[in-house]
Structure 1
Amino acid sequence: MTSADMHGEVRDPELPGRLLVVERDQLIPWLRERADADFARPADACPGWTVRDVLAHCSSALLRAVEGRFEEGVFSPESNVRHIAERAGWTNAQIVDELERGMTGAGPVIAEAGGALDGLALGAWVHAGDVRAALGEPGAYAGKGLPYALELLVRITRERGHVALHADLDDMDEPLRLGDASGDRPPGRYIGDASTLVRLYSGRSVDAAGFELAGVQVGELNIIG
């Protein structure tokens, strides 16, 4: 990964698919070893949803990308609820199978979309962290996919004109420059670890004592919800 990549100056169309495949290879075998009771646990990061609901949401969204089914409102909250309900009669294994197919096949479709679907890959990776967090797994929002997720986060925040932030990460050699710094507002400043930064940008709970943030409010960073 080059410095230009991490600062969002070069768009790599294969990056979202690479993130999904790296996550697939970690997540799917781990899920297949879980007891059915684990799938019924609440996912605190997604109020009202269980682990199974989060996985069903991700598998549905990714498979729709693979199959090119982008009907109006396909990723709306109402659509998410409907797609989860459609899988109510499925076994947990069937949902994991569909998730594996989606994570395997969505990359080329996302690459060809010119950036419009890049957030789908990042969102799926964050939701994988939500599942790990719900089941008490250490390093829920870390792992092998974290560098790819950070690179994608830099690019997405830059392309969306998000608030500018200079991030000094405890666990990385180079700082990250996220968002659009072309305006009059000076960039905010973050000091902390990479996984906490991801939590902030995805609206997940964080330990306020574990990082420093100046020049920008926590709520301004959220791009996923």
Structure 2
Amino acid sequence: MRRAGLWKAAAATAIAVALLVGLGSWQLARLSWKTELVARVSERMAAEPVALPPPADWPSLDLAAWSYRRVRAKGTFDHEREARVFVNLSEPRGPLKGPGYFLMTPLRLSGGGLVIVNRGFAPEGAVGRAARPEGEVEVSGPLREAEDRNMFTPADDPGRDMFFARDPKAIAAGLHLDNVAPFTVDAEATAGAGPLPQAGETRVSFPNRHMEYALTWYGLAATLAAVFGAFAWRTVREAE
């Protein structure tokens, strides 16, 4: 009877160990993918800017292939349609940090169409002091996909030009804009620019704890196998 129970326990343990090892291997695969992603983004951020994709290409644009590529564009800012995206800037590249806003301003492109530009960070209470250049300007910076939302992201307040994600579609709808690019551009800091807004605050953050998770799953598998081994040894000894 004990031997029959032992075989059942062995089968259950084998299945559980296989699942745990599978989860660990999956995390190692994720680690490889994340390492390649970080390397690809770093390479794109270091490359020379290329021309912004034209409006005719926007509907079919492969955003993943363009994400974080440095682009350049010419146009005129529409400061009357400026939106604010709340952010708590904890690890800034510039001197300013803390709660504040990314100033998202539509750039009317010289060749037609609009692209929403993240001109930089302004602390709470300092938005009105941010520079607002007039006339045609040239903007360079990484192209960004829409920022993901989650269950904790507050609802936008278009009536106050207040948003909580860098989402060009939502911002365009809230500001009643047409022919807007399905991406945003983070303006880079330029020599001679004023202190506000603080440009060049592209946040490149890819949490990478996959090795830790893999070791956890493998450790659980090893522990389970060891516990079963001890149990089996005791069961066999008692049956003798």
Indicate whether the TM-score tops 0.5. no
- TM-score, normalised via structure 2 length: 0.27
TM-score by length of 1: 0.29
**Structure that is richer in strand per residue:** 2
Larger RCO (alpha carbons 8 Å, 6+ apart):
2
Which of the pair is proportionally richer in helix? 1
